[in-house]
Amino acid sequence: MILTLNINGQGAEQITLDPAAITLAGADIDVDAAAVATEIQTRVRALGTAAAYQGFGCSYDAPSNRFSLTTPEDDSTASVVVYDGTLATLLRLDAAQTATLTGAALASTGTLFSSGVSGLPSLSDTSLTLNIDNLGDITITLDLTTLTLAGTNAADGQRVALAIQNAVRAVDARIGSYKDFSCSYNSSRQFVLRSGSSAIRQSGLAVTDGALADLLGLNAADTPLLTPGRQQEQGTAAVMPLVTLGTLAQGEQLLGGGANPPTANDYNAFYGNVLRKVRDVSILLLPGQAWPQSGPHAIIDESLAHCERMANRMLIVDPPKGLELTQAATVAQLGLPTSTYSVLYYPWVDVANPFYNADTNPNASTTLSVAPSAFAAGIWAKTDGRRGVWKAPAGVEARINGAAALAYKVEELEQDQLNPLGVNCYRSMPNYGAVVWGSRTLATKADPEWRYVPVRRTAIFIEQSIFNGIQWSVFEPNDEPLWGALRSNIGSFMNGLFRAGAFQGATANEAYFVRCGLGDTMTQGDIDRGQVIVIVGFAPLKPAEFVIVRIQQKVAQQ
C-alpha cells in the first residue's frame, strides 16, 4: 500500500507499506495501529538525510483514535501534506476526513416538522448556534416561510437540512469550514452535520442546546455522535537567518526570550564599531523605534548623530503609531529633529497579514500595520534604479504597492499644513491608489538649501562617487598634472550626470563646476600636509542656488 507525502515542501514522496513486514496482533487495534505508525516513520526516515525526513515522527493516539504525523521546523515553516489515496483513507488522513456530528434518530411516527406540538411552526425561536472547527459560535435562523414544508417527514427533513446548510455557507465564503459545510437528513431519521474543511488546527463540531437543536436531535441530552476530522497545524516559529561571507544558511530559531532590548548605548556601540566601517550604507531605518509622542528618543538621536557624522546616509524616521497629524501645531508638539539627514513619512500603512488563513488561522487579523519608513526605503531604491537619485521619490510613479489601506486619510488641507514642515504624506489618489506625496527633509525650515530629499541624496551620491573614483591619486605627486587630471576626470563624471538630467541649467557651465588648484582650493600648507582638495558645485533640480561639495584626499603617501 502506498502513502504519498510532502514534508516541509521537499516535494511529493511515496512510501510503500508491506503488511507482511508488519507484525500485526489482529486482536488489538491499538497495538496494530502503533505498529503501522512505527513502520510509516521508518519508511519516511529512509527517504533521505534531510532534517525534514530524519526528524519526521508518526504515532498513534489510542484515546482519540488518531494517527499523528509531525516534522521538525528545519526552515521558516514546517508542514506535512498527505495526498489522497487508499492508505490515506484507511488511516483517516485524506482530505475527506472532516468533523461530523450525527444527531439522535428522530421518532418513527407522527409529523415531525410541518405541524404538531413539537413541529417547527410551534417554535418561538428557530435559531441554531454552532461552533465549527473551533472558529467560534455562529448563529443561524431558519425562515419558515421559505421552507414550504409538505408534511412528509423524509422530504421535509431534507428541506430543513438544506436550509441549515445554506445558512451556514453564507456566514463567510472565505472560510472552508463554512463554505463547504454540509447538512443532510438520512434514512435513519438523523441529521448529519459535516465541516467543510480538513485543513484546520482543531477539528470539531458542536451545537448549543436550544429549541431547534432539540427538535433536530442535536441537544446534549440526545448524545449526538461527534467524529473529529483531520487536523493540520503548520509550524510558524520565527527564525533568524544566518548570513556570512559566501554562505546563506538557516540560523538560530528565535526563542521568544525576555532579555532586555538594546539601549541607546548599544546602538551607539554598534554604529561606532561596526556600521561606520560600511561605507555603502545610504539609508537607515529603525524598525520598532517610532518617534514617541512624548518622552525621550535616545535611540533615534544616536542614529541621527551617526548619519550626521558619516555624512553619507539618511535616517527615515517613523511618526508615532496611532497619532493623526492634522495641523502644524500637532507636528510642532512632537519636537521632531531638524537635521538635513532626517526624513519622515506619514501615516502608517495597513497590509495583508501573511499569517492570516481563512482555514487554518481565521482568528488572526486580516491586516497588519506597517511603519511608513519601510515603504519609503523601497520607493527610494526603486526610483534610484529607474530614474536616479536626483529624481524625487514621490508622485504618481511612487505607488505604495501592497497597501491595503492608509491609517489616516490625508486631504489637501492636511497636505498644505504638513508638507512645509517636512512631513511627507502618503495619499490615496484617484486612479493611482496610495502614493507618496512629498519629498522633503525635516530641515525644510531650518536649512532650506537641503529642504529636498533628492538634493541631499544627490550631494551624497556625487561626493561618494568622486571619493571612490579618485583613489588612484593617493600616491601621485601633488602638483598641477594631478590637479588637471582630477578636474578632467571629475568633470567628465559631472557632465555625464548633466546629460542624464541630474542638474538644472541649459549648459554645463550653468549646471556644475569643478575646481582644484593652488590658491583656489588649496594653500601651500594643504599641499605640505599631503592633501588635495577638490570643490565641486552643482545646481540641483529644485533650488536655483549652487550646492557645494568639498572632497579632500590624502596624496603623496609613501
Residue 138's Cβ-count burial label (10 Å; 0-12, 13-18, 19+) is middle
Note whether 320 and 291 are within 8 A (CB). yes
**Residue of 372, 385, 544 lying closest to 461 (CA atoms):** 385
Q: How many Cα atoms occupy the beta-carbon half-sphere of 135 within 13 Å?
A: 28
- Burial readout 451-478 (b: 16 or more C-beta within 10 A, e: otherwise): bbbbbbbbbbbbbbebbeebeebeebeb
pLDDT band for position 302 (50/70/90)? very high
- Taking residue 254's Cβ as centre, other Cβ atoms within 10 Å add up to 10
Residues in the chain: 558
From CA 367, how far away is CA 351, in angstroms rounded? 5
Which whole-number Å values give the CA distances from 122 to 130, 154, 191, 222, 545, in the listed order? 22, 19, 20, 20, 87
**Residue of 74, 102, 79, 52 lying closest to 199 (CA atoms):** 79
Which whole-number Å values give the CA distances from 41 to 16, 83, 404, in the listed order? 12, 16, 44
Span 185-211, pLDDT tens digits? 999 999 999 999 887 777 889 999 999
Is it true that 263-454 and 470-554 share their CATH fold?
no
From CA 21, how far away is CA 43, in angstroms rounded? 12
From CA 390, how far away is CA 538, in angstroms rounded? 12
Residue 394's Cβ-count burial label (10 Å; 0-12, 13-18, 19+) is buried
Span 426-443, pLDDT tens digits? 999 998 999 999 999 999
pLDDT at 244: 43
pLDDT at 84: 85
Q: Across residues 73-79, what is the average pLDDT? A: 57
From CA 140, how far away is CA 129, in angstroms rounded? 6
Q: Considering Cα of 20, then 24, then 26, then 30, what sign does the dihedral take?
A: negative
From CA 354, how far away is CA 362, in angstroms rounded? 12
pLDDT at 256: 60
pLDDT band for position 549 (50/70/90)? low
Span 464-502, pLDDT tens digits? 999 989 988 888 899 999 999 999 999 999 999 999 999
Span 207-246, pLDDT tens digits? 999 999 999 999 999 999 998 888 776 554 444 444 444 4
The three grid cell numbers given for residue 283, joined into one nine-digit string: 539609508
pLDDT at 553: 64
Domain 470-554 of CATH type 3.30.360.90:
yes
Architecture of domain 263-454: 3-Layer(aba) Sandwich (3.40)
Residue 344: pLDDT over 50: yes
Q: Which residue has the cell 435562523?
A: 141
- Comparing 359 with 42, the larger pLDDT belongs to 42
- Which residues share a beta bridge with 554? 531
8-state DSSP, 95: T
- Comparing 335 with 242, the larger pLDDT belongs to 335
Q: Where are the domains of the chain?
A: 2-90, 100-227, 263-454, 470-554
Residue 257: pLDDT over 90: no
